[in-house]
Amino acid sequence: MNISETLDINFQPGSAAVALGFFDGLHLGHMAVIRETVRQAKINGLTPCVFTFTTLRGGPSPKDCETLVSQRISEQILAAEGIREIIRPAFSAFGDLSPAKFVRDILIGSFGAASVICGEDYRFGKNASGNAETLSELCGGDANVTVIPSVWTDIGGEVPISSSIIRALLREGDVRKAAKLLGRPFSIDFTVTGGRRLGRTLGAPTINQHFPDSFIKPKFGVYASVSHVDGSRFSSVTNVGIKPTVGSDAVLAETYIHGFSGDLYGQDIQVDLLAFIRPEQKFESVDQLKSQILLDSEEARKIAKILDNS
């Protein structure tokens, strides 16, 4: 799979099927667009492409722009689905183009789009002035446009799958409902950083992973989790927050991986959050903290086993 961070693209005319969107979560709604793109590419002998961007145009607050999937996991998912080209320039590289110029010069001119696929809420062009209907009109006979309707699911009531709903669920700690909308567990996938190594002195060594500013922060607390290390899955327990007992200067995930004792510093480790166990809390002593980590770990193992068998 090829990845371009610029608009310096020159595909052959009529050679590409292009999925359009921010794809900030690759949830089931996004995946419907991706899978239709790959399907059309196979049928028509086209190259399946994703056109996205690395920064949002903004919103009422930064929290409305936080992403739900790391770039590495996003690339893995798209490659597994059959996408062969990802084009993701900064939004500033094209955000001020009119809808007509974007379609003419970028979509048709540079990308050589023969098929264009987007969600029904897709917006584009300066000031988000273009929508799916505008896209169909502007593409005319140059490219076929397919608009994918919203995907709905039942999470105690039917809701349209959207990144904003998933963000709200994660801020409530409801990673199980979020997983239904994502189509997979919510995962963090950040570099393991050095800490105080206090966990090793407690007999419960942990890994620390700091959240990027642009990534969603789920509700502070302790979660049953699964950690992926060297191709193996390990039951684990993850505390998200600021470690009130010993203190932290930033929001991080601290994960105790049951049955693993290797050195993971500097590696990007995927940790899937499966279920919320309890809120983050401050303990009177590190001995109490150690005892609670071990209790949480046992609870997490039970939850993981139940979910594996469900």
Q: Is residue 56 part of a domain?
A: yes
Domain count, the chain: 2
Q: What is the CATH number of the domain that holds 288?
A: 2.40.30.30
CATH of the domain at 51: 3.40.50.620
Global pTM? 0.91
Q: pLDDT grade, residue 59 (50/70/90)? A: very low
Question: Looking at 137, 153, 169, which one is the last position of a domain?
Answer: 153
Reference 27, options 123, 165, 147; nearest CA is 165
Residue 116 lies in a domain: yes
Claim to verify: residue 197 and residue 123 sit in the same structural domain:
no
Helix and strand element counts for the chain (H, E):
8, 16
Same domain for 17 and 105, yes or no, is yes
pLDDT tens digits for range 199-215? 555 456 789 999 998 89
Q: What was the pLDDT predicted at 80?
A: 98
121 pLDDT higher than 70: yes
Residue 106 has pLDDT above 90, yes or no: yes
* Pairwise CA distance, residues 55 & 58, whole Å: 8
**Do 123 and 227 sit in the same domain of this protein?**
no
pLDDT digits (tens, 9 = 90+) for 175-203: 999 999 999 999 999 999 976 555 555 45
Please report whether residue 179 resides in a domain. Answer: no
pLDDT grade for 308, boundaries at 50, 70 and 90: confident
Residue 137 sits in the same domain as residue 206: no
298, part of any domain: yes
pLDDT at 204: 60
Domain final position from 153, 175, 198: 153
7 plus 137 within the same structural domain: yes
Where a domain ends, among 134, 153, 172? 153
> Residues 222, 280: contact at Cβ < 8 Å?
yes
Report the pLDDT value the prediction gives residue 149, as an integer from 0 to 100. Answer: 96
Residue 58 pLDDT > 50, yes or no?
Answer: no
Strand partners, 246: none
Q: Are residues 17 and 78 in the same domain?
A: yes
- Average pLDDT of span 6-24: 94
Query: pLDDT at position 196, please?
Result: 57
Does some domain include residue 175? no
Query: What Å distances lie between residue 120 and 27, 29, 65, 107, 293, CA to CA?
Result: 15, 10, 19, 18, 46
Same domain, 226 and 299: yes
Percent with pLDDT over 90 in the chain = 70
Q: Tell me whether residue 197 is in a domain.
A: yes
**pLDDT exceeds 60 at position 235:** yes
**Secondary structure letter of residue 239 according to DSSP:** E
Residues 49 and 100 in one domain: yes
Shared domain for 236 and 120, answered yes or no, is no
Residue 223 lies in a domain: yes
For residue 301, the enclosing domain spans 185-309
Domain assignment present for 257: yes
What's the pLDDT score for residue 293? Answer: 82
Stretch 116-122: mean pLDDT, rounded?
A: 96
Q: Does 148 share its domain with 234?
A: no
194 and 144, same domain (yes or no): no
Share of the chain above pLDDT 70, in %: 91
